[in-house]
Structure 1
Amino acid sequence: MTKHLARIFLLLSAAFLLAYYLPFAWHVLTARRARVPFVQYSDTGHGFLFTRYNISPETRDVSIRYTDAAGRAYERDAFEQMLPLTYFMQLEKNGAMPKTINGVKITPSAIRREMWSLRVRPDSLDTPAVPLYTVFETDSGRARLEMPDDYMRIHKNGRVEFLSPKTNKVLPEKSALYTEAFANAQFAFPVTALGSKPNPRKSYDEGIYIADANGQLFRLLQAKGMPRLARIADTAADPDAWRALRPRHIIINEIETRELRAFIIDDTGQPWLVTGKDYRLIKLPVTNYNPTTDSLAIRANLLSRLVLLQKEDSLEAVALDRNYTVLDRHEEKIESRDQQPAAKIAKILFPLRWWLVDSDSGYFGFYTKTGAACSLALNAILLLGYIIFLKLRRHNLRAQLPEYALIAIGGLCGLIAALLVPRVE
């Protein structure tokens, strides 16, 4: 009896490990990256332009095609001339850089100053974070920001603490000062969302955005050692929109022009930009953005902004002017991983799969996935083949019931486990 129990344990262990390693090996050997085009928007009237990459299945050589939305192909030089705000260095070298575009004077310094980008991926949102926050001194008299000697921690009960990493002790005076500032601002605990950029290598400090239990967003700064905590809705150009906003994720993005201050995703998954001196809220005009699975990118230049939303099987591009009014929109289908032939075969070969690391999350977890319905037919064929194999070897068929169940459920992984683990008659 003990031998049979031990073998059942070995069978389950082997099948469990094979359900991880076999699909992983199959993916490494067969999967290929989706060929997503690099999308740009022409400010000279040529609409959306694409750099498309093709890989030869025979030689694996990569070829590049430059096309427009209608599919017309261009030579590289002609393509770059339609995008002067992107390839301005090459056009300057060729003597082909225009002096003005749509009445706006074009200079290299202006192009560099107005160029910024932001990219938001699912794993950057769902990732572990240490609840210690850097509060920069914004009025130190120095030309650059400097890292402080302490870190802030916010408790659910409303207590704010500052910790010294050198002594590993709480700084009572500063902690009491900030706790009082939160109380005076009528901040409702606990914190529901927080965003900051703890890097002194930036042109200025936007501070820390903190959402309270009521969804109201506050901005925390420190000037001359004193906290400044204020509700953004009280000073913003559109206070009603701020009061209705319920942030889930906040990303601070300090740029020199201070056009973009922060990127916010609310509790419905809608993305927003916080722009300008009056903290104007801009609702990004993208379709069905899902922050848990989709990637969002924004690229800005002197004349326009380009928003890119990449889903598993589609790509959406939206061109906006400086006032964030829609200029043009483009959508196209892309090949998802599940649509690849190797992925379809994997769904048949592996009725049960599991893994620990997911591309959409920064956390370790236990993720599972079932195969296609037709994998049950393959399981039945493998089970029948295994029974015939045992009969030809003159084994006791009734003694192999655990193997039958394992193959019926686990398919190929169960069959390999049954063949590897020695049988007990």
Structure 2
Amino acid sequence: MRYKKLIYCLILILTTLMMLWLLPLLVNKLTYKPDHYPFVYYSTMLEELAIIDYGNKEYPMTNKNGDSFTTAEMDSLLPMLNYRQLMNDGRMPDSIKGQEMNPRMLRMTSFTFRYNPSETKTPGNGLYILFESMPKRVGLTMPEDVFRMKNNIEFINTESNTVNETKSREFQSELEKQGYSFPSQWFAGNPNPRKSYDEGYFSLDNKGQLFHIKMVNGRSYIKNTHIGEKIDIGYFSMLEVADKRFYGFLFSNQGDIYIIQNESGNYQAMKLDIDPIDLKKDQVFIMGNLFEWTVSVVKPEEKLCYGLDNNSLKQIDNYSMKREPDKWDKVVKWIFPAYLTIESKYSNFLVPQIHYVGVYAFILNILLSVCYVLILSESRKVKIYKSLYILVTGIAGFLALLILPKSKKS
């Protein structure tokens, strides 16, 4: 065949790429262990971050100096975390820092929040649910329509699949009146009907301005927060907290984290006093209570923990833990100088990527090249070409050459 060598080379390359994906995937399944860090929480009583290992039944808690504490001591030193247990045991203080303790107030001022990079890279259908933010009855009810918004806003009845022209025009007119610039970049909200109240959505327009959009008494409520004039906005995550102190967490493209508040009709962004994060790789976990917030940032190489004052969000303590290499980290650098993945924990899309590990695996590549030259009987010229191919591609290329039948001219 005229193109026999070309076809052979293409098949060889495709087979090698397949091996570069499948072999590391198999080794990863056999050796990978998820990163495990101790739980960290700010102790109101010790006034410092505490490290907790629930696997240690005798002394589950330590402080940064290495002092150990029993379970009963841990409960007393972390009253904001363990107030239910303390109340059940009758050991909950009547007041802490001059503040009277009662279950309702503690529940109202407590929250948890998680951020995962995959949130920003998740496929969606472009349809959104807009609840009535001031319902006549207790609780939220599912509306009869959904809306979509790109170059304009349209409300679509879910039963008849027709556009509600009146409602669409009313919202479109208000958007234009408030200066919203189409097309929209993204929408962020919480479409869970079980939440206690609704604050609609926050949307970033084409000019980087952040707008608050919701429905009040069947009418549009649209405001430009003007936060985009001061911050290069990257992402927003809605969190309708029980005490209604803030709307959620805003992430700048530089990695700073803010909360959005509304005081007397003026939207304000309040910055968390922590180091900037990498929105594409870092995970964030925040636990807030009446007195302090505990912020944990899990990076690929370490976990950073911060204690923040609840009122000012200023940093009052910090602690860091380095990641321990697992079996995968130790094995991969000796087997694969590079490997291919099509999935990423940082994205819900398929993302083909080539990962370069290091030069250690070239030792194995050299050994495989020598073995191929010594064991297989082919012409000297072909052996040189194929040994060089193995030297570059490693075990993936070696197995690909073994799998493919040799051409008659070899």
Instruction: Give me the TM-score of the superposition, normalised by structure 2.
Output: 0.91
Paired residues of 1:136 and 1:207 also in contact (CA < 8 A):
yes
Q: Identify unmatched segments of 5+ residues in structure 1.
A: 56-61, 234-240
Q: Which residue of 2 aligns with 1:116?
A: 111
Paired residues of 1:46 and 1:82 also in contact (CA < 8 A):
no
Residue number among 193, 199, 206 corresponding to 2:192 in the alignment: 199
CA distance in 1, matches of 2:59, 2:372: 50
Q: Which residue of 2 aligns with 1:322?
A: 310
CA distance in 1, matches of 2:59, 2:381: 61
SS of alignment partner, residue 407 of structure 1: helix
Residue number among 294, 298, 304 corresponding to 1:306 in the alignment: 294
Paired residues of 2:271 and 2:313 also in contact (CA < 8 A):
no
SS of alignment partner, residue 142 of structure 2: coil
CA distance in 2, matches of 1:128, 1:317: 31
CA distance in 2, matches of 1:360, 1:256: 30
Q: Which residue of 2 aligns with 1:209?
A: 202
Q: Which residue of 2 aligns with 1:74?
A: 69
Residue number among 168, 174, 190 corresponding to 2:167 in the alignment: 174
Change (3 A) 1:4 1:227: same
Paired residues of 1:314 and 1:333 also in contact (CA < 8 A):
yes
The superposition leaves residues 172-203 of structure 1 with CA deviations (integer Å, 9 ceiling, x where unpaired) of: 22222221111111222222342111122111
The superposition leaves residues 108-133 of structure 1 with CA deviations (integer Å, 9 ceiling, x where unpaired) of: 22222211111111111221222222
Q: Identify unmatched segments of 5+ residues in structure 2.
A: none
Check if 1:184 corresponds to 2:177: yes
Residue number among 309, 331, 356 corresponding to 1:370 in the alignment: 356
Residue number among 132, 136, 139 corresponding to 1:137 in the alignment: 132
Paired residues of 1:153 and 1:160 also in contact (CA < 8 A):
yes
Residue number among 200, 218, 227 corresponding to 1:225 in the alignment: 218
SS of alignment partner, residue 351 of structure 2: strand
Q: Which residue of 1 aligns with 2:235?
A: 249
The superposition leaves residues 346-382 of structure 1 with CA deviations (integer Å, 9 ceiling, x where unpaired) of: 1231123111110011111212112312333432221
CA distance in 2, matches of 1:50, 1:322: 20
User: Taking every aligned residue pair, what percent have the same amino acid on both sides?
Assistant: 24
Letter in 1 for 2:348: G
Letter in 2 for 1:250: F
Aligned counterparts, 1:28-47, within 5 A: 28-47=29-48
CA distance in 2, matches of 1:242, 1:13: 47
Q: Which residue of 1 aligns with 2:340?
A: 354
Paired residues of 1:261 and 1:274 also in contact (CA < 8 A):
yes
Letter in 2 for 1:263: F
Paired residues of 1:36 and 1:334 also in contact (CA < 8 A):
no
The superposition leaves residues 19-71 of structure 1 with CA deviations (integer Å, 9 ceiling, x where unpaired) of: 1111111111112222211001111124111113789xxxxxx9984211111
Residue 6 of structure 1: how far off its partner (Å): 5.2
Paired residues of 1:53 and 1:63 also in contact (CA < 8 A):
no
Change (3 A) 1:102 1:64: closer
The superposition leaves residues 148-179 of structure 1 with CA deviations (integer Å, 9 ceiling, x where unpaired) of: 111111233xx221112222222222222221
Paired residues of 2:133 and 2:217 also in contact (CA < 8 A):
yes
Letter in 2 for 1:248: G
CA distance in 2, matches of 1:292, 1:255: 26
Q: How many residues align?
A: 405
CA distance in 1, matches of 2:382, 2:360: 28
Check if 1:294 corresponds to 2:300: no
Paired residues of 2:272 and 2:313 also in contact (CA < 8 A):
no
The superposition leaves residues 283-337 of structure 1 with CA deviations (integer Å, 9 ceiling, x where unpaired) of: 111213111100112111122111221211222222122313435222323225x
Instruction: Give me the TM-score of the superposition, normalised by structure 1.
Output: 0.88
Residue 282 of structure 1: how far off its partner (Å): 1.2
Check if 1:23 corresponds to 2:24: yes
Q: Which residue of 1 aligns with 2:404?
A: 421
Q: Which residue of 2 aligns with 1:236?
A: none
Paired residues of 1:219 and 1:231 also in contact (CA < 8 A):
yes
Q: Which residue of 2 aligns with 1:383?
A: 369
Residue 272 of structure 1: how far off its partner (Å): 0.9
What's the RMSD between the two structures over aligned residues? 2.4
Letter in 2 for 1:415: F
Change (3 A) 1:401 1:63: farther
Residue 419 of structure 1: how far off its partner (Å): 2.0
Change (3 A) 1:409 1:107: same
CA distance in 2, matches of 1:40, 1:397: 66
